[in-house]
Structure 1
Amino acid sequence: MKEEVCTSRKAAEILGVTPRTIQLWADAGILQGWKTPGGHRRFNLSEIQQLALSIRNPEEMPPLSNTLPTQVQPVKVLVVDDDKTIRRLYELTLASWGLPMVVHFAADGYEGLIEVGRQAPDLMILDLQMPNIDGFAVIRALEQQSLLTQMKLMVVSALSEEDVKANIALPESVTFIQKPIPFARIRDEVERILLSS
């Protein structure tokens, strides 16, 4: 039976992520596990291996659209983050909610601005520190085009609020949250958009 139990470190090796990511996924409910009396996380090895397969083969994941009620207009969400693992974390977590959403991803600010034009998202989740065009430049571009009145923008960054304010004055409509990713608040925002539509 011992081989069926998996530590955080082993799970991280199997999934190709850091132990910190394993903690985030466990907190977000993506990984079902338990804690030992000493406070160490443990997981079912077969579930970790199954998740590893789904990460390597995302086309095998069940499509989110199967769980969407047809009478509700899906919320269009755009996640802009250069970290591939973080994007996958968003994908798995948002899909696990079963809410009517269409989620698109961009790996930097340049792609993000292109997707804004293509998708006209209801909610944009934006990282700040990215290659090419960073999140600060994205916010300035959205302001110049008066697009912040047409979407909800949540900035999720490892930077402190003071560091952000040193670079840009965030409009009042923009929500700034320091990492770790605030999935509960993101879900609240999606539900608020659904109720108002």
Structure 2
Amino acid sequence: MLTTSELVSRIRGANGDTQEGLARRLGVSYPTINSWERGRSEPHPARRRELEDLAESLGIRAELSVLVIDDDPVTSEIVRAATRHVDASVTVGAALDGWEGLVACGAQQPNLLFLDVMMPGIDGLEVARRLPAIEGLEKMRVVFVTASQSADVLNRAASLGHAVLNKPLEFDQLARVMTETLDAQD
């Protein structure tokens, strides 16, 4: 879900409205719109619903950018399929190895990274250790995916990421992680 500030800003951008114009459209004062857009106050729930309805009519939805780094291309297809269970606009990028994934992280700046632990070349654990060197990824959530049952591997992955999911991956599990990531953006 978009914050009120993001919602107002995106509505104004999509509509070409000034704060005054949006205030007239919604029947509120200019200072009210200004306060909402600057994050100084929140609208009454009925007004929030009005903003959400207007955003929906303009085609504005919450957005989530996901990157999958896994040497098995099936994983990214499963993640793409799971996006149908998420109430948001989700884009999914994919990289088939750790090096390509690091480059994609820098270019795409995803909100959520599904990262395979075991890959040839640079593995997921090493990718995770290198992520802090990439500017702009401070808020990105890292979720490891693995078929490994090794306690050592699972513990190391848990210490480097936000969660660890076991393969085979399930749609509900993936959708829950995506929804939690959207909720954390608020």
Q: TM-score range by the shorter chain?
A: 0.5 to 0.7
> Within 2, Cα distance between the matches of 1:187 and 1:178?
15
> Within 1, Cα distance between the matches of 2:166 and 2:153?
10
Q: Percent identity?
A: 30
1:39-65: CA deviation from partner (whole Å, max 9, x where unpaired): xxxxxxxxxxxxxxxxxxxxxxxxxxx
Residue type of the partner of 2:115? L
Q: Which aligned pairs between 1:45-84 and structure 2 lie closer than 5 A?
A: 70-84=59-73
Choose from 168, 182, 185 the match for 1:194: 182
Once the 2 structures are TM-superposed, how far is the Cα of residue 145 of structure 1 from its aligned partner? 4.7
Aligned position for 1:123: 112
Q: Which aligned pairs between 1:175-186 and structure 2 lie closer than 5 A?
A: 175-186=163-174
Choose from 119, 131, 134 the match for 2:123: 134
* Greater relative CO (CA pairs within 8 A, separation 6+): 2
Once the 2 structures are TM-superposed, how far is the Cα of residue 159 of structure 1 from its aligned partner? 1.0
Once the 2 structures are TM-superposed, how far is the Cα of residue 194 of structure 1 from its aligned partner? 2.9
Q: Runs (4+) of structure 1 moved beyond 6 Å?
A: none
Using structure 2 for the length normalisation, give the TM-score. 0.58
Q: Which one has a larger percent helix, Structure 1 or Structure 2? A: 2
> Within 2, Cα distance between the matches of 1:130 and 1:173?
17
Higher mean Cα deviation, 118-127 or 174-183?
174-183
State the SS of the aligned residue for 1:190.
helix
Residue type of the partner of 1:71? I
Using structure 1 for the length normalisation, give the TM-score. 0.55
The higher radius of gyration belongs to 2
Gaps of 5+ in 2: 1-57
State the SS of the aligned residue for 1:70.
coil
